C-alpha cells in the first residue's frame, strides 16, 4: 500500500479527552504543559473541555460529551484531517457505556497514523518531542486502492413465480 505525507504544521490541532476518573490526571498534566498547549489549537469533549478552560484559562473548542457523541465527533475530525494529535486518558478499570465509541476512536487514530497518548507517560514523551514545535510529514496509507477494490456482486436468489391469475389449479 502506498502512502501520502500530509504535513502537520507547527501549530497542532490537539484533541484532549478524559474519562471521569482520569480528568484530574489530565488537568494536572495540562496545567504542567500549559505553555506548550497555549501554542496549539485545542479541542475537547464536553465536560473535559469545560474543566480545561476553567483550569488553564485557554480557549478550548468543546464538542459533545463523549458518551453522547463527542468521541465520535473527535473520530470524524481525525478522519477528515482536522485533528493532528490525540491525548485520551481513558479509564482501563471502569466499563464505559460507550466502549464501542472509545474503541472506534482509538482505531481511527491508528488508521490515520496520528500521535495518540492514552496515559501520562506517553503524553509527556509526545509533548516534549522536538517534533512538537516543527512541521512534520506524517505517513498515511493511501486508502484509494481499498476504496476502489472490486466488490463481488451479492448473490440474490431468484424471485418466486407469482401464482397464476384466477387463484390456482381449480379455477
Residues carrying an active site annotation: 71
CA gap 45, 17 in Å, rounded: 6
Phi first, then psi: give them for residue 105, nearest 5 degrees. Answer: -65, -45
Instruction: Report the Cα–Cα distance between both ends of the chain, in Å, rounded.
Output: 65
E strands, 19-168, in order: 41-44, 60-62, 85-89, 116-117, 136-137, 140-141
Residues whose CB is less than 8 angstroms from the CB of residue 57 and which lie 6 or more positions away in sequence, other chains included: none
Per-position DSSP letters for 137-166, written without gaps between them: E--EE-THHHHTS--PPPP-PPPPPPPPTT
Instruction: Compute the CA torsion angle 72, 64, 51, 120 (nearest 10 deg).
Output: 0
Amino acid at each position: 500500500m502506498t502512502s501520502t505525507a500530509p504535513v502537520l504544521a507547527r501549530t497542532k490541532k490537539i484533541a484532549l479527552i478524559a474519562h471521569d476518573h482520569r480528568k484530574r490526571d489530565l488537568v494536572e498534566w495540562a496545567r504542567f504543559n500549559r505553555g506548550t498547549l497555549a501554542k496549539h489549537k485545542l479541542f475537547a469533549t464536553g465536560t473535559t473541555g469545560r474543566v480545561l478552560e476553567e483550569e488553564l484559562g485557554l480557549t478550548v473548542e468543546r464538542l459533545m460529551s463523549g458518551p453522547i457523541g463527542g468521541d465520535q465527533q473527535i473520530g470524524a475530525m481525525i478522519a477528515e484531517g482536522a485533528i493532528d494529535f490525540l491525548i485520551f486518558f481513558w479509564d482501563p478499570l471502569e466499563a464505559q457505556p460507550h466502549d464501542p465509541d472509545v474503541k472506534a476512536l482509538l482505531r481511527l487514530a491508528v488508521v490515520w497514523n496520528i500521535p495518540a497518548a492514552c496515559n501520562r507517560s506517553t503524553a509527556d514523551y509526545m509533548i516534549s518531542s522536538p517534533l512538537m514545535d516543527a512541521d512534520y510529514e506524517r505517513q498515511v496509507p493511501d486508502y484509494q486502492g481499498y476504496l476502489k477494490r472490486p466488490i463481488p456482486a451479492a448473490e440474490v436468489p431468484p424471485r418466486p413465480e407469482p401464482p397464476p391469475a384466477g387463484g390456482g389449479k381449480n379455477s
